[in-house]
Amino acid sequence: MKIKSYAKINLTLDVLKKEKGYHKILTIFQQISLHDTLIFKKISPKNKPMNLGITLTCGNPEVPLNEENTVIKAANLLLKNIPAKKQKKLSSYHVALQKKIPLRSGLGGGSSNAAATLLTLNQLWHLNLSRKKLSRLASQIGKDVPFFLHGGTAVGKNFGEQIVPLPSLPKIPIIIFLQNYKKSTKDQYAALDLKKCGRQTSLTQQLITQLKKTPQPSKNSPAKNISIKDALNYINATSHNDFETAIKLSKNPQINKTLHLKRKLLQIGASNILMSGAGPSVIAFYPNAKSRDKAYQQLSVPGQIKSSTL
């Protein structure tokens, strides 16, 4: 079984406060077409591993293949919630992970892999766990993992694990720019000046309101998506990220390079630019594929990826 594991960006990201060791946030997640691929292949009973679950391989040497990997974490978490008698009847699987989502990029690759594993093994093992139950398990792996069970466009509340689906955006062409510094999400949060955070939540609410006005599909009428032009207007008026405006330069001087890149991209035709998650990836939006492809060729810098919203 071949499964696509999609990346995400954040259209808005407000860091509200720190509580119980985690940061409360308000964000709008958006699925994009960039994806990893997970190939699940049943293991012969003769070669069944002692610990059941799954085995994992990946062509990227930077990807851990042990319990640090979110694919393994997801499988082990499911097993813990299955009675021992039922576990003995389960098939084991080998997973070949084909990585396209860059590591530590703010695009949620590891979280997406975990969600894809939960959904796939729930099906292959005939567990019939509800989406609500899967979401509870997902949040134990990472606070943004529940979003990837839903995909599309959605609000993330509390610590990011409370998901409220929104009408989906149209397919907007984008370029992802990978900057040459990689800090962990934990380090990025530590570099925030919380006194400067959470000041633009009204913009997030404004975008939520605009998206909710999109006509919903019904039995008698198909979905009527908003136009790319209108969607970009909404995004241009409301997108923001506290990791751009409230980061302590002493903790992460590289943020200046991010701001410089944004100015350069606007000069050559991007409709809007924003940083995804805790960074460092920068996302440039374009009104059509032609203008995106032109900018892609014009820049021709290492670490740029063509994609689109889904």
Q: Report the pLDDT value the prediction gives residue 245, as an integer from 0 to 100.
A: 83
* Residues with Cβ within 8 Å of residue 217, at least 6 apart in sequence: 223, 224
Average pLDDT for residues 82-101, to the nearest whole number? 90
Going by the DSSP 8-state scheme, the letter that residue 251 receives in this structure is: T
- Residue 3 tokens, joined: 């499964």
Query: 294: buried, middle or exposed (CB in 10 Å: 19+, 13-18, 0-12)?
Result: middle
Q: Report the pLDDT value the prediction gives residue 255, as an integer from 0 to 100.
A: 66
Q: Report the pLDDT value the prediction gives residue 25, as an integer from 0 to 100.
A: 96
283-286 own/partner pairs: CB under 8 Å, 24+ apart? 283/9, 283/174, 283/175, 283/176, 283/177, 284/174, 284/175, 284/177, 285/172, 285/173, 285/174, 285/232, 285/235, 286/172, 286/173, 286/174, 286/175
Q: Report the pLDDT value the prediction gives residue 302, as an integer from 0 to 100.
A: 75
Of 58 and 84, the one with more pLDDT? 58
**Is the C-alpha dihedral spanning 293, 295, 298, 302 positive or negative?**
negative
Q: Report the pLDDT value the prediction gives residue 51, as an integer from 0 to 100.
A: 60
Q: Report the pLDDT value the prediction gives residue 219, as an integer from 0 to 100.
A: 53
Amino acid identity, residue 191?
A
- 214 confidence band (pLDDT: 50, 70, 90): confident
Q: Report the pLDDT value the prediction gives residue 139, as an integer from 0 to 100.
A: 96
Residue 18, pLDDT above cutoff 60:
yes
- 95 confidence band (pLDDT: 50, 70, 90): very high
- 278 confidence band (pLDDT: 50, 70, 90): confident
- 265 confidence band (pLDDT: 50, 70, 90): confident
Q: Which residues are catalytic?
A: 8, 144
Q: Report the pLDDT value the prediction gives residue 252, as an integer from 0 to 100.
A: 60
The mean-pLDDT minimum among 61-70, 168-177, 293-302 falls in 293-302
Residue 218, pLDDT above cutoff 90:
no
Average pLDDT for residues 168-193, to the nearest whole number? 84
Closest CA to 242 of 10, 21, 19, 30: 10
Average pLDDT for residues 83-99, to the nearest whole number? 90
List pLDDT tens digits, range 47-72. 665 566 789 999 999 999 999 999 99
- 223 confidence band (pLDDT: 50, 70, 90): low
Helix, strand or coil, per DSSP, at residue 114:
helix
